Amino acid sequence: MAEVRVAVLGAMGWMGKVHTMAYQTFPHFLGTSGGTARVVALVEDHPNAAAELGFRAQGAKILRDWRDAVQDADVDLIDICLPDSLHYQVAKAALLAGKHVYCEKPLANTAAEARELADIAAEKGLITRVGHAFVRNPVHDLAKEIIEAGEIGEIKLFKACQHVDMYGDPLAPYMWRANGDLAPTGIVGDTGTHVFSFMNFLVGRVTSLMSDNYIVTTRRPVVSGSALGASSVLRGDEEWADVTNPDGANVLCKFANGARGLIDFSRIATGRKFMQTYEIYGTKGSLSYTYDGVNRLRFYTNDDDIGRRGYREIDVGPENKTYGAFLPLPNFALGYNETKIIEAAEVIRSITTGRPVWPTFEAGHHICQIVDACMDSARFGRWVDIS
Ligand SMILES: NC(=O)c1ccc[n+]([C@@H]2O[C@H](COP(=O)([O-])OP(=O)(O)OC[C@H]3O[C@@H](n4cnc5c(N)ncnc54)[C@H](O)[C@@H]3O)[C@@H](O)[C@H]2O)c1
């Protein structure tokens, strides 16, 4: 059984915790035939790192500088859970040092950077993966199976949205996510890329788009130690920082297969704690999904008799191998953390077998092309082509 030695970068953050847990957990559910992972290094520049990370992965080195992990001969896989603006430089250094790379989304700040990363990985024969885990819920494998079997015919329209309300309150504190230097594309690279990953997985490539990006609250109070999306009680002497990347976007797009897309996403949808939906309309049927029923697909087909037509609700269950690995009964719900466990297992298996699994940096490049096109379209106020 092959063991992959992993360094998790940004280990004290949300994703750092989830990824570390995922490596340790996946063998319990998904077995070890695809290899195992050992977290050998946790990288974090937070001052409490040594105290907080000591128990997370037995025997792991606690490092402050990501360069030390990249140059460490005992590390096979660099797992990047750092703020967006660092992804490109860290991934590039890791690939050049001969490491496999698993990078949180967005893969890079621009499509040109993503192209460079995908090219280096291809040239060096390294495994890559972008952290678009939502799509790894088995319910979306079912959607893809239905589409590929032709059960909804030719796809003509894709509608999707993803909204949160962490910045709905104008007093929600400033954080790196609102800083155009640390997160250059804001919500487009953040929530937008999740929607784009569904588009790429279920419909295909995008050839052109038009995007209206917007900022709702232009300045936010800087309140250290506040939770994501918390409201601040102003004392009157706090600093304020400018929000320098988009809070939301409304996008129209065209796909290579002729389908049209209508997508909206934001971080300002007050009351929407987490809303993620898609609807896919074809010439013979349609599919619809919402995160509120995260393991449920709604399927309509013209093959049903007239008078009996309507959406049927399909709860993915243990007949799906991946779902069955976690739960013996349907509708017990596989949630967010399970998709990360599935993703980590796939990353490890792709390294031990040498067979990459979507979304690699190649797919990450196309998703970055969509992000670039959204930013350019909003800047120039016109449709933008993607080659
Ligand atoms: N796939 C998903 O569903 C998903 C969800 C959330 C976040 N993300 C992505 O994951 C990445 C991390 O997001 P998060 O929510 O975990 O952020 P976070 O702020 O919770 O964590 C980032 C961590 O990196 C550390 N850090 C920052 N700069 C560093 C440096 N130079 N060296 C070492 N450590 C450093 C911070 O101290 C922090 O602990 C982002 O790119 C984000 O877009 C993906």
What's the pTM value of the predicted model, to 2 decimals? 0.94
How far, in Å, is the centroid of ligand 1 from the Cα of 190?
Answer: 12
Q: How does pLDDT run across 63-87, given as a tens digit for each residue?
A: 999 999 999 999 999 999 999 889 9
The span from the CA of 80 to the CA of 53, in Å, is: 16
- Return the pLDDT at 184: 87
How far, in Å, is the centroid of ligand 1 from the Cα of 224?
Answer: 16
Of 163, 158, 189, nearest in space to 253 by CA: 158
Exposed e or buried b for every residue in 74-84, given b needs 16+ CB within 10 A?
Answer: ebbbbbbbbbb
pLDDT < 70: residue spans in the chain: 1, 225-229
Of 134, 149, 164, which closes a domain? Answer: 134
The span from the CA of 340 to the CA of 131, in Å, is: 8
Of 112, 134, 156, which closes a domain? Answer: 134
The kind and range of the H/E element at 161 are strand 155-163
- Examine the domain organization and report whether 145 and 288 are in the same domain: yes
- Examine the domain organization and report whether 164 and 248 are in the same domain: yes
Give the ligand 1 atom nearest the CA of 12.
39
Of 193, 108, 241, nearest in space to 374 by CA: 193
CATH number of the domain that residue 176 is part of: 3.30.360.10
The span from the CA of 225 to the CA of 252, in Å, is: 38
Query: Which residue among 9, 14, 88, 224 has the greatest number of ligand 1 atoms within 8 angstroms of its CB, and so is best to mutate?
Result: 14
- Return the pLDDT at 235: 81
- Examine the domain organization and report whether 29 and 154 are in the same domain: no
Q: How many domains is the chain built from? A: 2
Given a contact cutoff of 8 angstroms between Cβ atoms, the answer to whether 337 and 183 are in contact is no
Instruction: Give the strand pairing for 206-214 and 312-315.
Output: unpaired
Q: How does pLDDT run across 208-221, given as a tens digit for each residue?
A: 999 999 999 999 99
- Examine the domain organization and report whether 166 and 220 are in the same domain: yes
- Examine the domain organization and report whether 152 and 230 are in the same domain: yes
Question: 233 CB contacts (<8 Å, ≥6 apart)?
Answer: none
- Examine the domain organization and report whether 240 and 286 are in the same domain: yes
Whether ligand 1 lies within 6 angstroms of the CB of 105 is answered as yes
- Return the pLDDT at 1: 64
Domain membership of residue 191 as a residue range: 135-331+361-385
- Return the pLDDT at 40: 98
Exposed e or buried b for every residue in 14-49, given b needs 16+ CB within 10 A?
Answer: ebbbbbbbbbbbbbeebeeebbbbbbbbbbbeeeeb
Of 134, 154, 169, which closes a domain? Answer: 134
| CB atoms near residue 340 (< 10 Å) | 22
- Examine the domain organization and report whether 50 and 95 are in the same domain: yes
The span from the CA of 21 to the CA of 8, in Å, is: 11
CATH number of the domain that residue 113 is part of: 3.40.50.720
**Any domain includes 342:** no
**Any domain includes 205:** yes
- Return the pLDDT at 227: 65
